[in-house]
């Protein structure tokens, strides 16, 4: 799902006027897809190197970049130079919940309801199905409310063309608002704060910083236009 060679220099940070032409929508989608994949998959050298280059090029190509975006991208760029074993250890500790001292895994239900596979999980799955998507969580796959899947779903919504939807269905702006306002902005800040207490590796700390910055900026832009 992820295009790691995407030009991301003009993402949300460049669009404070709320302009949403098709090119900008595609750029947004790629950013969410890239971020989502990093939280879903254990790191490998080729992918980490590609993400490090992506972060470096974004910083180099953007004319105006908010401080929180720039700082996050710099952390990603610096952290991407770490050896693969260090990154795998960091990933397991931060995102797999393998010990009592480790953070709970990045499932919305854990941070909103305090339990695994709650009503929140069911609600998110319904949103996926509305968009014609679903998550096969059998056989050890991640549940629908995993952070990586929610970010990738956000990317899919951004990339959709509202003109292809049935006029009786909710519009895409409402779907985006639902996912951002009722879900991601409700639990991602809490999860981000929990991970910060772990003093995470620069690579993953930067990815989480960037996810929070992009989601917050996107939510603010939609709120201003409602």
The answer to whether position 26 is within a domain reads yes
What DSSP string describes the chain?
Answer: ---TT---TTSGGG-TT----HHHHHHHHHHHHHHHHHHHS---HHHHHHHHHHHHHHHHH-SS--HHHHHHHHHHHHHTTS-HHHHHHHHHHHHS--STTSPPPSBHHHHHTSSSS-HHHHHHHHHHHHTT------TTPPPTTBHHHHHHHHHHHHHS-GGGS-TTSPPHHHHHHHHIIIIIHHHHHHHHHHHHTT---HHHHHHHHHHHHHHHHHHHHHHHH-
The answer to whether position 139 is within a domain reads yes
* Domain of residue 30, CATH code: 1.10.3480.10
The answer to whether position 220 is within a domain reads yes
The string of pLDDT tens digits covering residues 44-61 is 999 999 999 999 999 998
The answer to whether position 39 is within a domain reads yes
The answer to whether position 5 is within a domain reads no
Q: What percent of the chain has pLDDT over 70?
A: 82
Q: Which range of residues forms the domain containing residue 78?
A: 12-225
The answer to whether position 176 is within a domain reads yes
The string of pLDDT tens digits covering residues 104-132 is 999 999 999 998 889 999 999 998 888 88
The string of pLDDT tens digits covering residues 131-157 is 888 777 766 689 999 999 999 999 999
Domain count for the chain, please give it: 1
């Amino acid at each position: 799902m992820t295009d790691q060679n995407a030009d991301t220099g003009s993402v949300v940070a460049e669009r404070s006027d709320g302009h949403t032409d098709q090119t900008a929508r595609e750029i947004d989608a790629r950013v969410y897809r890239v971020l989502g994949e990093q939280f879903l998959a254990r790191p490998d050298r080729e992918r980490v190197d590609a993400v490090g280059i992506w972060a470096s090029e974004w910083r180099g190509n953007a004319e105006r970049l908010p401080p929180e975006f720039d700082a996050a991208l710099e952390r990603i760029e610096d952290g991407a130079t770490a050896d693969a074993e260090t990154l795998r250890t960091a990933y397991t500790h931060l995102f797999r919940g393998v010990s009592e001292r480790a953070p709970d895994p990045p499932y919305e239900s854990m941070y909103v309801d305090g339990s695994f596979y709650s009503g929140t999980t069911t609600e998110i799955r319904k949103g996926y199905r509305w968009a014609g998507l679903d998550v096969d969580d059998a056989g050890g796959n991640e549940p629908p409310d995993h952070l990586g899947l929610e970010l990738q779903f956000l990317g899919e919504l951004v990339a959709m063309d509202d003109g292809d939807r049935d006029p009786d269905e909710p519009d895409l702006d409402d779907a985006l608002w639902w996912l951002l306002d009722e879900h991601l902005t409700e639990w991602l800040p809490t999860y981000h704060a929990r991970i910060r207490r772990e003093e995470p590796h620069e690579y993953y700390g930067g990815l989480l910083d960037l996810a929070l910055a992009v989601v917050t900026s996107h939510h603010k832009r939609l709120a201003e236009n409602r």
